[in-house]
Copies of this chain bind each other. A is one copy, B any other.
Amino acid sequence: MARIVALRTHDVRFPTSLTLDGSDAMNPDPDYSAAYVRVLTDAADGHEGHGFVFTIGRGNDVQVAALRALESHLTGRDVDGTLADLGGLWRELVHDSQLRWLGPEKGIMHMAVGAVVNALWDLRAKREGKPLWLLLSSLTPEQIVDLVDFRYLTDALTRDEALAILRGAERGRAEREATLLREGYPAYSTTPGWLGYDDDKLRRLCAQAVDEGFGRIKLKVGADLADDIRRLTIARQTCGPGFPIAVDANQRWDVDEAIAWIAALGEFDLAWVEEPTSPDDVLGHAAIAKAIAPVPVATGEHIANRVVFKQFLQAGALQILQLDATRVAGVNENIAILLLAAKFGVPVCPHAGGVGLCEAVQHLAMFDFVAVSGTAENRTIEFVDHLHEHFVTPVDVRAGRYHAPKATGAGTEMHRSSIVDYSHG
């Protein structure tokens, strides 16, 4: 019987602050990094499961220490049994009472669980010879709800309600799978919009995004109102009237400030306003959403867990749900969040960029399309053209669309040489 024999961890950091890629109103100089974990087994197939937490530099070592704290939960386990019950494994890791105290269910420890869970999904997908999105889309509704912990969710979504959603989406799975393989999934581009870029670069990258077929772009805002107006004017002139332009404040504002600032950008016909304030502030987002309607509020990349997402949906505090592959506790918790979004009829537009987030999160959006919400309408995955070359199966984004991965695994495996070359300290 094959067993898990070790977790190997790596502190991988890319010096992105040198080029101001990724610069925004709250994060002037990120060094995009990955707290990276490999799950090793003694199986003859030689497969490894790879996962990571995306961070932006300092503290990546602490995130690695949290990954290491989970090793004793994994080593010695039967590989087949563990992979066959990832819902059970998720509960064991998230509800380890001593580790839970360090969140609970938030921050470094929770993200570490997510990386390990994602690595196990990568391993399972490799062993089953499927890309993760297809593996998930092949599960029965009962198998899918068994992956989800409904603790703290039942006032908004019960297991039976989730089953009904999934059964409703069973019809048409095959057709949507074929559509996805043929046409891909819509993408939008954040490449033009970083605050650290000058106006010429902004103009050039806006034109390029439109030329490349992206259906939407996003600009960082929130540091200086006059700058925002100037940059949005350039973007609107370059992209043309009616082209969807979203903005992202990266949590820069207080509630009243957000409402006033967004009002001052009223002429630009914003496609959405992202992260206007603290990601913990459900009631604040609800107030902002009410004030700026019909402009939608988008958020999620820093929402700590399914319980907070539940409240955002209950309170009407977001209109676009931005799933993140490595902020919550992995694939299982993201399935819970996809089911919550489907229950409330809110479109999911995943957060990506960073290190490997595009590679990871596309699988979840595609699974959502095939087996959960059953639609790609008003949905789009973020795309930033950074760091893809470090991944064994980089995304295939052409003509403004993510093309469905056919390679086995979860997309989360980095080249050995990149891990070695960018290992820190």
Enumerate chain A interface residues (CB-CB to B < 8 A): 26-31, 55-59, 61-63, 65-66, 69, 96-111, 151-155, 251, 254-257, 277-284, 287, 302, 304-305, 307-308, 310-311, 314-315
Q: Which B residues are CB-close (under 8 A) to A59?
A: 66, 69, 98-99, 101-102, 109
In the complex, besides A107-B109, A152-B254, 18 extra interface pairs with C-beta distance below 8 angstroms are A27-B97, A55-B102, A59-B99, A62-B65, A62-B69, A62-B109, A66-B108, A104-B279, A108-B108, A152-B281, A154-B257, A155-B254, A155-B256, A280-B304, A280-B305, A281-B311, A282-B283, A282-B311
**Residues of B contacting A63 in the complex (Cβ-Cβ under 8 angstroms):** 102
Option from B27, B29, B153, B278 in Cβ contact (under 8 Å) with A152 = B278
Q: Please classify the interface of chain A as helix (H, G, I), strand (E, B), loop, or mixed, using the class held by over half of its residues.
A: loop
**Complex contact B155–A255 (CB within 8 A):** yes
A99 CA to B107 CA in the complex, in Å?
A: 11
How far is it, in angstroms, between the C-alpha of A30 and the C-alpha of B305 when the chains are bound? 24
Chain B: minimal CB distance from A42 (Å): 25
Q: Tell me the complex Cα distance, A167–B271, Å.
A: 46
Smallest beta-carbon distance A4→chain B, Å: 19
Cα–Cα, bound, A55→B66 (Å): 14
Structural contact, B279 and A98, CB atoms closer than 8 A: no
Q: Given the interface contacts A101-B27, A108-B109, does A283 sit within 8 Å of B311 by beta carbon?
A: yes
In the assembled complex, the CB of A30 is this many whole angstroms from the nearest CB of chain B, namely: 7
Q: Are the C-beta atoms of A278 and B307 separated by less than 8 Å?
A: yes
Some 16 contacts from A to B, beta carbons below 8 A apart, are: A31-B98, A55-B102, A56-B98, A58-B69, A58-B96, A59-B66, A59-B69, A62-B62, A62-B69, A62-B109, A104-B251, A105-B278, A152-B281, A153-B254, A155-B255, A280-B304
Nearest-neighbour CB distance to chain B for A93, whole angstroms, equals: 12
Contact B155 A106 (CB under 8 A): no
Closest 5 CB pairs of A and B: A107-B107, A58-B98, A155-B255, A57-B98, A65-B65
Instruction: Give the complex CA separation of A57 and B106 in angstroms.
Output: 17
What is the CA–CA distance of A28 and B95 in the complex, to the nearest angstrom?
Answer: 12
Quote the shortest CB–CB distance from A74 to chain B (angstroms).
Answer: 14
Q: Please, which residues of chain B bring their CB within 8 A of the CB of A109? A: 59, 62, 107-108
| A61-B65, A107-B109, A108-B62 known; A284+B102 contact, CB < 8 A | no
Q: How far is the CB of A10 from chain B (nearest CB, A)?
A: 16
Chain B residue contacts of A311, Cβ below 8 A = 280-284
Partner of A101 from the list B56, B69, B284 (CB cut-off 8 Å) is B56
Query: Is there contact, CB below 8 Å, between A108 and B104?
Result: no
Q: Say yes or no: A55 contacts B101, CB within 8 Å.
A: yes
Q: Inside 8 A of A315's CB, which chain B residues have their CB?
A: 283
Q: How far is the CB of A284 from chain B (nearest CB, A)?
A: 6
Q: Which of B57, B66, B254, B302 is within 8 Å of A154, CB to CB?
A: B254
